Structure 1
């Protein structure tokens, strides 16, 4: 490094501009792991900055023999703390991206000493504080590597090193074009069928007749349709996340093309549970969640607005409209007892929450429905928020939680909405929710911890 580089790097890192630019560059890769690494890096940086501000800095004594009088107070070094916090946060989420960021962070921290602004002790103290901040953030919001789901029960499936035998249906409405191109590069002999959302079910049925492995690229609703086709045909399923949330794929440990290609090439797969709902002659499956109450109404309202203003704004608007409406809770008989309910949520598998992180499933074949009930009463928004904040608590004044293998609702009013994996249907009378244990075979890499920057 030339003598002019450290001062220039030090100026760039001033006010954390360098790290915000680095986070923007990571986010621009449009891969979930890189985006999480960027977010974790910034969160760690923020905590380090707050800690430095809270502790206060001790001014550099005039007796210190520095090349020039520092422009700011010196101990600990705030820039060293920010550099170490950002780099450590990124590395905890993605070791590969951490190796890219670490040399820049080390140079930025050392530049403070090289420029004469700090003694080595100032830089070391700041760096130690930054590393501690990153680990504190990890304690509050664990990385995905800390909560990787178990790989069992394993399933015997064909290995497809070049993709031959895979027929993958991609929902073009989910914005999957980029991932489809990457899949064709990784598995050149795979057959890919791109179609509009309304054609997905028919294309999946046709694909199942000629495939050794049925593949799908899209959001959770598209994956649900593929699961139904795979169950009917007895084929293993390969899921490439291509939607907004992608809960099922992410809980499996599949975030992108590399994960899926690795599983297909090695022939690694697991058997997972499937949830099923039935009501009279109507029935369906769910891979993530099934619910009745205000949430299905929110989903329908969101779909009404999403094509006009976008998905996330539509979700916020839908929540405001549904929760502010003058309505009464759902009345239903649950396991023989009548309850007023604002929401009944049934997860396909037990959802766990560690720290402040959103809930996710650690075991996709535990045989349980994770049932959460928000009791009826005044102020539904307050009750729903209290239930969300309660997280893993099994009971509160606003909600209750239990894990069961089967659930029955009776006397459900006509026209009641039921949501499953983002889709909505109407039910009435008796509604039964149950598990199909280990019914679906799905590809998943044997080792969910990835060391490649994607």
Structure 2
């Protein structure tokens, strides 16, 4: 104990010296500013207001607001509910400071550490992780709030330093559950042979007017940006693949018509159908993301029509893998021989067996209100409560699982919830599963998620393979890109032999550096 006191004594001397120095400062407008700022930060009201303003705009600022609020909750709880009761310390005596600096009703709880400093540092750090530019604006305000606690005499300088350290550490710790994506496009090999399409010349574009916002018709904007493209619209009752194939057959018989590329305006489902046709005909693909979520376009790095125009004019494209799943017929079925052929389907993002499609549906339904990770945990708990285990054979072993996930390319982060792809041309499948044959598996996987330790749980499995053969004990549903498309007892997953060139603007050429993540 005496040794501890000897270590603390120099800190106390420094604290008292700083407080005495501040007490000698003459009255000024700074006193009013510090009082107002420290009061505004009570109960983190200031930071919640800033978070509300940041959340008004979609993209990185909204993610920054969500991460900031999460960091505040963790930092405030750690400082006020854990550290203060365990490490009690007297606050500075109000009599040692002039009245024009002190608060009329100073707090009486333990001085160590500063909860205000912890919340301020946590919020500023968390925002900076998602949006460094916004973080640079918020950091000075956070520093001023932290200093204000010493200026108005309710904390020692070491209280503030400890609180700021705690808040920063907690904000950085959120990356364990909520990984930070630094760039908004995955790595992929550039394609030198993609033809330039100035104004959409040589482009056959299919616009899905039923995708995305029901109050917005993209046809006019697409025609304005790509005036030389041949534009078709989706016909209800006919699949996109059938319409594109029919359009290509008609163009083959027309003199002087040469289709250089296919284009799709819509969401992942529409783009996936277009990619399958493009791969069959050896054509590059133009993606205009106007669906609800546009996972594929976000991974590629295409966000709007301006980027589409830039990339097609310059002939800039990257090679992208296309996932393929072969649906094998049930050998014991009494169906006609025509139904006993292997059907092939393609997928851009993910395929799954079991309860995963329902999990994705619930997560995406709740995500706008709660954020991705809280929505995922809630959806997982609901789905695991309702789900029935699936008996399935893969990787040469029979297993009982809640679901089997197959990603078109390795997803990040490993050992956690798959969120995005760092590369689009790896030639590998990302295979993940949740075991149902372990005692209390549902409770264990929920606890592992909450602790950020899913990758170390016995309930969770993951590997990367070029091909995967799956056999179900009882024929079950297959979902690709979130939509249930097949029901069979055996599936074979692989990566298509040929990659699909997808137009993407070369950010190095346009800006000289990779573009930061924006949504």
Bucket of the pairwise TM-score, normalised by the shorter protein: 0.7 to 0.9
Match 1:360 to one of 420, 424, 433: 420
Question: Which structure 2 residues correspond to residues 399-418 of structure 1 after superposition, within 5 A?
Answer: 400-409=461-470, 413=474, 416-418=476-478
On the 8 A contact 1:323/1:380 being kept in 2, the answer is no
Distance 2:219 2:148 in 1: 42
The residue number in structure 1 matching 2:168 is 131
The residue number in structure 1 matching 2:332 is none
Distance 1:268 1:106 in 2: 44
* Secondary structure class of the residue paired with 2:322: strand
Match 1:175 to one of 213, 230, 244: 213
Match 1:227 to one of 250, 271, 275: 275
Is the alpha carbon distance of 1:117 and 1:245 closer, same or farther for their aligned partners in structure 2, counting shifts above 3 Å? same
* Secondary structure class of the residue paired with 1:88: helix
Long gaps (5+) in structure 1: 307-311
Is the alpha carbon distance of 1:223 and 1:378 closer, same or farther for their aligned partners in structure 2, counting shifts above 3 Å? same
The residue number in structure 2 matching 1:71 is 106
The range that moved more, 44-53 or 174-183, is 174-183
The residue number in structure 2 matching 1:346 is 406
On the 8 A contact 1:147/1:362 being kept in 2, the answer is no
List per-residue Cα deviations over 1:30-75 (Å, max 9, x = no partner): 22x2222112222222233233223227412345324224622555
Is the alpha carbon distance of 1:374 and 1:99 closer, same or farther for their aligned partners in structure 2, counting shifts above 3 Å? closer
Distance 2:261 2:279 in 1: 12
The residue number in structure 1 matching 2:71 is 44
The residue number in structure 2 matching 1:309 is none
TM-superposed CA distance for 1:124, in Å, is 5.1
On the 8 A contact 1:220/1:422 being kept in 2, the answer is no
Point out the structure with max Rg over C-alpha: 2
* Secondary structure class of the residue paired with 1:22: helix
Question: Which structure 2 residues correspond to residues 99-248 of structure 1 after superposition, within 5 A?
Answer: 99-112=136-149, 123=160, 125-138=162-175, 141-145=178-182, 149-152=186-189, 154-158=191-195, 167=205, 169-175=207-213, 187=225, 201=240, 212-248=260-296
Distance 2:466 2:517 in 1: 38
On the 8 A contact 1:97/1:453 being kept in 2, the answer is no
List per-residue Cα deviations over 1:178-231 (Å, max 9, x = no partner): 795997699575868776876671666688768655444543323312322332
- Bigger share in strand: 1
Structure 1 length-normalised TM: 0.75
The residue number in structure 1 matching 2:128 is 91
Is the alpha carbon distance of 1:148 and 1:169 closer, same or farther for their aligned partners in structure 2, counting shifts above 3 Å? closer
Match 2:390 to one of 325, 329, 333: 329
* Secondary structure class of the residue paired with 1:450: coil
* Secondary structure class of the residue paired with 2:47: helix
On the 8 A contact 2:478/2:487 being kept in 1, the answer is yes
On the 8 A contact 2:353/2:478 being kept in 1, the answer is yes
* Secondary structure class of the residue paired with 1:24: helix
Distance 2:132 2:498 in 1: 33
TM-superposed CA distance for 1:144, in Å, is 0.2
Question: Which structure 2 residues correspond to residues 418-437 of structure 1 after superposition, within 5 A?
Answer: 418-428=478-488, 430-437=490-497
What is the aligned length? Answer: 441
Kindly report the root-mean-square deviation, in angstroms, between the aligned alpha carbons of the 2 structures: 4.8
Distance 1:319 1:360 in 2: 22
* Secondary structure class of the residue paired with 2:499: strand
The residue number in structure 2 matching 1:287 is 348
Is the alpha carbon distance of 1:127 and 1:295 closer, same or farther for their aligned partners in structure 2, counting shifts above 3 Å? closer
Long gaps (5+) in structure 2: 1-27, 252-257, 328-340, 367-371, 508-512
Distance 2:277 2:92 in 1: 69
